[in-house]
Structure 1
Amino acid sequence: MRTGVSIGVAGGVVGNLIFSGFALFFAFMGSMFVKQEWNNLQETKAMQAWVQTDCTIETCKTEDAGEDFRLVVTYRYEVDGRTFTNDQYGKRRYLKAETITEIKRAEQRFPPGKTVAGHYNPANPAEAVLDLPTVAGAKKGLGFALIFPAVGLVFATIPWLRGRKKRDGEPAKAKKERSPKLFLVPFGSIFFLIGVLMLKPFLFEPLQKTRDAQTWNEVQATVVSSKVKSHNSDDGTTYSPYIAYRYTVDGQEYFGDQYTFSGGSSSGYSGKAAIVRKYPKRKKFTVYVNPADPTESVINREPSLGLLFGLFPLVFALVGAAIMVAGFRAKGGNAKLDERQANAYEVTLKGKSPAAKAIALTLFASAWGGIVYLIFKSDAPMAFLIIFGLFGVAIAAGAVHAILATFNPRPTVEIVPGNIRPGTSVAMRWRTNGRIDRISALKITLKCLQVTTETRRSGGKTQSSVVRTPIHEQELLVTQKQHEIAHGTLGFQVPKDQPASRLGNHDGIEWQIVFHGDIARWPDMKAQLPFIVYPTGA
């Protein structure tokens, strides 16, 4: 029976700074949102003093504004015997929507000649609106905006609250170590829940609609607008075909613009332009209409590869699940030593995969690059941009170093027996896999580390970090011989006067066998292979 053992603890000031940096940036972006909503609230409050009056609709029409559609409504009203004409809909001059169906629905509310309620500014009667914004709506917008900086500030302070003293001058008391589950599991569950909930609109509903549409009725339709829509983002420009059409069911006219149920946009303009060219304005063609709801229609009801975009929310769900699994597997201060090694005769030692570190740093560097880009596009001070930029360069360099290290040779180590206690003699054999000719020298070391939490007080705040201090270090082999680098055997004894393994961040003990291979002009081979030394008499 073979058992792999891996013990590790994440934390420290660097980790706290990275976590808080992301949280503070989140709070900074949220504060910009709050400022915008606050100004909107003040303007809305001022408009509540406007006077209501009757407005007569003169014209109402839908215009194609390029990327969207807008409703242009002109109306007249009287104030103190004077007649005014205006076309201001609300806080914005025009009512806009991405689809023609939304605009046509609004157009039905304002037929020419109809009298509707409007409001004018008593200080300037020429200023008026048909749709007066409400304070309640503005307050909801502000309340929603406040969530973002609040969440950012809370998460920015969480890493620095650990290990605080109760009162100035009072010695820090040892406290029970909290399990990482308290943070990782709830945090991961949020990602998982978001991913699962997003699957419904992105995947399940389009699949259901595509299946149902196979039985919908064929109806003659006429194109009223067709174009390629562009969607700009930090990752570039994507495109989607947009075809608006009208059709009649039982004497009632309807408008639609659903080309396919897969939705979304992608790069590549020519393919979308080719679709649009098939549907010039005023062309008659067949659409498929839902007999149970004539307002629902579609041009192409066949399944397409675009439906695969609906799998994107799975990324959130999988990331959340991975974080939750890491949380459940994390060991707190009361964790017990794994007994599987003690029950095994021969044990295979496993270290952390360098690929995991490379992937994590690469993703982090990419995300940080996006943050730097957003800062560059904003009005943030240049010093702020330089600090974030230099930090991004350091992260990118670390990612490159980690990626190169994944191509290094890796040792496989087996030890006998598995039930190791202070004073036990251990037989070890190893085999180095990969390009061992690149390794000029190999050093194998037995280490015993004491894991403690250091608490420092600075600037009125108490900061804690996990520290690993070697309390025993013994060279087992130093060689430049290729055959010994490739494979070999040796024996060693765990000193009787050294402590057994103990889990925890406040008074933990870790044992490991460390392989260090020197590689010229390349990251060195480094492998830390933990194992358990059980207490005597346990």
Structure 2
Amino acid sequence: MKPLSSRTSRSSSGCLAVFFGVFLVAGCAGSYFLLWKPWSAWVAARSWAATPCTILESRVVESSDSDGSTYRVDVTYAYVFNGREYQGSRYDFMGGSSSGRESKDAVVAENPPGSRTTCWVDPDDPSQAVFDRGLSWIYLIGLFPLVFVAVGAGGMIYGFRSHRSSPAASASAPGKSPFGVDIPPQGSQPRQLSPQMSPVGKLVGIILAAVVWNGIVSVFLWQVVKGWRTGAGDGCLTAFVVPFVLVGLGLIFAIFQQFLVLFNPRLELTLGPGVLAPGESALLQWTMRGKAERVQKLRIVLEGREEATYRQGTRTTTAREVFSTVLLAEVDNSFSIANGTARVSLPDDAPPSFAASRNKIVWALKVTLEIPNWPDSADEYEIVVAPAALRQRFGG
């Protein structure tokens, strides 16, 4: 019979998983409809064809409830593509309605029935068209569900890690080296590497940082705007707030940039053997998932660094010092970018991976995909270097 503590720990982890799973499911559903569908359609529409169209009907539709009224542009247009007539009624990819009627009235006034304008048509499916493919602030609403995704995923990860770190769970954990680093089971066999943080994880992290930062800054920004509107502007406060606003805008730009990275090709790395040892070498193989021809250059660097965490008053700081940098591959032709190999070798005096409460020695593969006219991908894959005493177990 299992101990009561083990059953209680498993029950608590299960409750946490269910509780935060609700947040995760709700966030994923909201992200799909409010973020993925409109934003992916917006990205795809960058290659749609500009096509003359005739406005058949245009009006502002009002929706009212107990919270007030919202408005949307309702437009129907006709166009000819490849000699065939079509009709469309999609105004933008976001859909829905929002407050502020003046901007919608202006759109309708500029596009009365019978007027000619330009629409955007999918050349692969001409029945799909959009009136306005521009990016507006309304698309930022799609970032809100990611807060639920972050809370749900973070809570579930915390619950699972808490369970794994319990005494009952640690009985089956993989062995540790004398230097405090988990040695993966079957380390002498090839092992597929995973990036330290997925593109989605990076996006969620940037969004959370942007929400917190801009939420705080908006309080001061509102006071600045209110002061200037009432004729009592404070120049000193304005000068103080401007740098923080610029940082917030930079975070918003980083969100947009990281979202585009989600559409980049992905690299799969396999290291054999999966655990390195000083004085030994391993074969690194890579395969590109996605359109490898989009990538102009692939660069892989082996980096060894020391990390030290220390406190200064109430502030915690982590210092990093790189002690080894080895260029493993720099490829600029599509064939070799799609599939290739490189040799990873360590000198006899290479320090093994090390982990303590405040100090670490980390070995990692830093991979960069350079894509013209598009945000690059930059990922880090941490690898394990075992002590020299275990060389025979993992030698390549």
TM-score, normalised by the number of residues in structure 1: 0.38
Which of 355, 360, 380 is 1:528 aligned to? 380
Aligned to 1:510: 362
Aligned to 1:432: 288
Matches within 5 A, 1:138-287: 230-231=66-67
Change in CA separation of 1:514 and 1:386 when aligned onto 2, cut-off 3 Å: closer
C-alpha distance in structure 2 between counterparts of 1:323 and 1:389, whole Å: 33
CA contact (8 A) 2:282 2:343 kept: yes
Instruction: State the partner residue of 2:319.
Output: 467
The one-character-per-residue Cα deviations of 1:390-418 (angstroms, maximum 9, x if unpaired) are: 22112112212211222222211111112
Distance 1:416 1:359 in 2: 32
| Matched residue SS, 2:252 | helix
Match of 2:350 in 1: 498
- Say whether the 8 Å CA contact 1:501–1:534 is kept in structure 2: yes
In structure 1, what is the Cα distance between the partners aligned to 2:376 and 2:150? 35
| Structure-1 residue corresponding to 2:334 | 482
State the shift of 1:422 in Å: 1.0
Q: Which amino acid aligns with 1:362?
A: I
Please give the alpha-carbon distance, in whole angstroms, between the structure 1 residues aligned to 2:361 and 2:380. 15
Rounded to whole Å, the distance in 1 between the matches of 2:256 and 2:379 is: 18
Q: In the TM superposition, what is the alpha-carbon distance from 1:512 to its structure 2 partner?
A: 1.3
Match of 2:266 among 397, 402, 410: 410
Structure 1 runs not aligned, ≥5 long:
1-188, 200-227, 239-265, 270-312
Matched residue of 1:473: which SS? strand
How many residues align? The count is 238
Report the CA distance shift for 1:469/1:524 in structure 2 as closer, same or farther (over 3 A): same
What is the identity, as a one-letter code, of the residue corresponding to 1:422? P
Match of 1:499, SS state, is: coil
Residue type of the partner of 2:158? M
Q: What is the CA–CA distance in structure 2 between the aligned matches of 1:466 and 1:231, rounded to whole Å?
A: 48
CA contact (8 A) 1:408 1:434 kept: yes
Shift of 1:481: 2.2
The letter for the 2-side match of 1:389 is V
Q: Which residue of 2 aligns with 1:400?
A: 256
Whichever residue aligns with residue 396 of structure 1, its letter is I
User: Between Structure 1 and Structure 2, which shows a larger proportion of helix residues?
Assistant: 2
Q: Note the C-alpha offset of 1:486.
A: 0.9
Matched residue of 1:394: which SS?
helix
After TM superposition, give the deviation of residue 485 of structure 1 in Å: 0.9
Match of 1:355 among 196, 200, 215: 200
Q: Distance in 2 between matches of 1:413 and 1:487?
A: 10
Cross-structure match for 2:120? none
SS of residue paired to 2:362: strand
Is 1:365 paired with 2:210? yes
Which structure would you say has the larger Rg? 1
Task: Evaluate the alpha carbon distance shift between residue 405 and residue 505 of structure 1 in structure 2; reply closer, same or farther with a 3 A threshold.
Answer: farther
Pick from 420, 425, 432 the counterpart of residue 276 of structure 2. Answer: 420
TM-score (norm 2): 0.50
2:152 to 277, 296, 318: 318
| Partner Cα distance (1:383, 1:230) in 2 | 40
Residue 509 (structure 1) shift:
0.8
Distance 2:222 2:300 in 1: 50
Distance in 2 (CA, whole Å) between partners of 1:361 and 1:325 is 23
Distance 1:440 1:420, change over 3 A: same
Instruction: Say which SS state the counterpart of residue 531 (structure 1) adopts.
Output: strand
Counterpart residue identity of residue 194, structure 2: K
Summarize deviations over 1:353-375 as a string: whole Å, max 9, x none: 11111133234434544444444
- The 5 A counterparts of 1:67-78 are none
- Structure 2 CA distance, aligned partners of 1:430 and 1:367? 38
**CA 1:509–1:320 in 2, change beyond 3 Å: closer, same or farther?**
closer
Q: Quick one: distance in 1 between partners of 2:325 and 2:262?
A: 27
1:360/1:433 CA distance change after superposition, 3 Å: same
Alignment check: 8 A CA contact 1:230 1:237 kept: no
Q: CA deviation at 1:474?
A: 1.2
Q: Does 1:346 align with 2:202?
A: no
| Preserved contact between residue 179 and residue 353 of structure 2 (Cα < 8 Å) | no
Letter in 2 for 1:353: S
Select which of 450, 458, 464 maps to 2:306.
450
Relative to structure 1, is the Cα distance of residues 376 and 518 closer, same or farther in structure 2, using a 3 angstrom cutoff?
closer
Measured against aligned partners, the alpha-carbon deviations of 1:142-170 in whole angstroms (never above 9, x if no partner) come to xxxxxxxxxxxxxxxxxxxxxxxxxxxxx
User: Shift of the alpha carbon at 1:508?
Assistant: 0.8
What's the secondary structure of 1:430's corresponding residue? strand
SS of the equivalent of 1:537 reads: helix
> Distance between the aligned counterparts of 1:372 and 1:448, measured in 2?
38
- Superposition deviation, residue 491 in structure 1: 2.2
The 1:267–1:337 alpha-carbon spacing in structure 2 relative to 1, beyond 3 Å, is: same
| Residue identity opposite 2:279 in structure 1 | G
**Matched residues in 1 for 2:70 and 2:212: separation?**
19
8 Å Cα contact 2:301-2:367 kept in structure 1: yes
Query: What amino acid maps onto 1:324 in structure 2?
Result: Y
Q: 1:314 to 1:478 in 2, by over 3 A?
A: closer
Q: What is the alpha-carbon distance in structure 1 between the residues aligned to residue 154 and residue 355 of structure 2?
A: 26
Q: Is the 8 A contact 1:451 1:505 kept in 2?
A: no
Contact 1:412 1:430 in 2 (8 A): yes
The verdict on how the C-alpha distance between 1:499 and 1:316 changes in structure 2, with shifts beyond 3 A counting, is closer
CA deviation after TM superposition for structure 1 residue 478, in Å: 2.0
Q: Could you tell me how far apart the structure 2 residues matched to 1:384 and 1:360 are?
A: 26
Q: Could you tell me how far apart the structure 2 residues matched to 1:437 and 1:320 are?
A: 35
Deviations along 1:222-254, whole A, 9 cap, x unmatched?
A: xxxxxx87447xxx979xxxxxxxxxxxxxxxx
Instruction: Report if aligned partners of 1:451, 1:504 keep a CA contact under 8 Å in 2.
Output: no
Give 2:155's aligned amino acid: A
Letter in 2 for 1:526: A
Give the secondary structure class of the aligned counterpart of 2:389.
coil
Q: 1:528 corresponds to which letter in structure 2?
A: E
